[in-house]
Structure 1
Amino acid sequence: MARLEDELLMTAFREVMAGVAAPVTVVTAMEAGLPHGTTVSAFTSLSMNPPMILVALDGGSELLGLVKSSRRFGVNVLGRAQSALALTFARKGGAGKFAGVSWEPDSGLPRLPGAPGWLVCEVADLVTGGDHVIVLGTVVAAETADGEPLTYHARSFGTHTALVETS
């Protein structure tokens, strides 16, 4: 049983993190010709030379197993109009998440059309972090398109709005 102090800390931590705006991505992999993917907001750039990113995947997720075995994954950086996709891929269900979802193979990985950002990555390292595994990926291909990013903040989807400087 968790101690009261631990529960209070977890609640406070959850509230602080809800106040941090995060990008929304769908990380994908292929297995036996079937696409798999999951929504991930624990994603960030890591290095420019070499180009690297990191994503955190649940330690028990099916997708993590596929990424470990294939040593490759794709990152679809979602746009403002793709919140429904984010919800679709946030549920449990492996390959079933792609039912009715348009996708195309790109470098042997599932790519979601309309996403303003696409990265093809090779696994550089895996680091355990609590109940997640941090996947360090070396970017081997990258494409960008116009579009506002989809973000997650205060337990809801939104997008970035630039501040207007006033004199």
Structure 2
Amino acid sequence: MSEDALAVGFRQVMAGVCTPVSVITAMDGERPHGTTVSAFTSLSMAPPMVLVSLDQSSALLAVLRATGRFGVNVLGSRQHTLASVFARKGDDKFDGVPWTLTHGVPRIADTPGWLACEVAQLVPGGDHVIALGTVTDADTLPADPLTYHFRAFGTHLPLPAR
């Protein structure tokens, strides 16, 4: 299989994997930074840890390297606009977005899942870096999750009980 065909096939397979959508945040002095990711998952229960994949050229990654902490704002199904805002480049992503500083990182208001993390390790992975984070705070609100599948936002619906 050629490299081009492999890349196309890989993208198609990965598009078919339903993933949660989160906004990863960090503070650079007085300025909040954030970016949308779909490569986020739990890693360990003891101690509680998560992993997040960030592009090597990400401005947010530079802030994580400098500060050693980040927030995970797990989005709900009604927050797809937020996901789009934080997926783009620019310094104005937080304009008009309600947030608070919690455990030293930006916490976006009304997200169904919240984690504050300290960077345990940064691991190179191709064109990305995997941030392993030790969880220092966690909170939840009831809401349906925002998911990403075949390049579109959606949500999970449970199968009917048998």
TM-score over 0.5 for the alignment? yes
Structure 1 residue 40 displacement after superposition? 0.5
Indicate the residue corresponding to 2:156 in structure 1: 160
Indicate the residue corresponding to 2:18 in structure 1: 21
Matched position secondary structure for 1:46: strand
The one-letter amino acid paired with 1:108 is G
2: CA distance between counterparts of 1:39 and 1:20?
17
Which of 12, 33, 40 is equivalent to 1:36?
33
Give me the TM-score of the superposition, normalised by structure 1.
Answer: 0.95
Matched, 1:62 2:59: yes
Which of 11, 30, 37 is equivalent to 2:8?
11
Matched, 1:88 2:65: no
1: CA distance between counterparts of 2:125 and 2:16?
21
2: CA distance between counterparts of 1:49 and 1:107?
20
Indicate the residue corresponding to 1:71 in structure 2: 68
Matched, 1:125 2:121: yes
Structure 1 residue 154 displacement after superposition? 0.8
2: CA distance between counterparts of 1:17 and 1:97?
27
Aligned residues: 162
Matched, 1:46 2:55: no
Indicate the residue corresponding to 2:109 in structure 1: 113
2: CA distance between counterparts of 1:51 and 1:60?
27
More helix as a share of residues: 1
Structure 1 residue 102 displacement after superposition? 1.5
Once superposed, which parts of structure 1, at least 4 consecutive aligned residues long, lie more than 2 Å away?
Answer: none
The one-letter amino acid paired with 2:30 is G
Give me the TM-score of the superposition, normalised by structure 2.
Answer: 0.98
Identical amino acids, percent of aligned pairs: 59
Structure 1 residue 106 displacement after superposition? 1.0
Deviates more, 1:57-66 or 1:105-114: 105-114
Structure 1 gap ranges (5+)? none
Q: Deviations over 1:62-120 (max 9, x none)?
A: 10000011000000000011000000000011x31111212111112111111000000
The one-letter amino acid paired with 2:75 is L
Structure 2 gap ranges (5+)? none
Matched position secondary structure for 1:55: strand
RMSD: 0.9
The one-letter amino acid paired with 1:102 is P
1: CA distance between counterparts of 2:122 and 2:102?
23
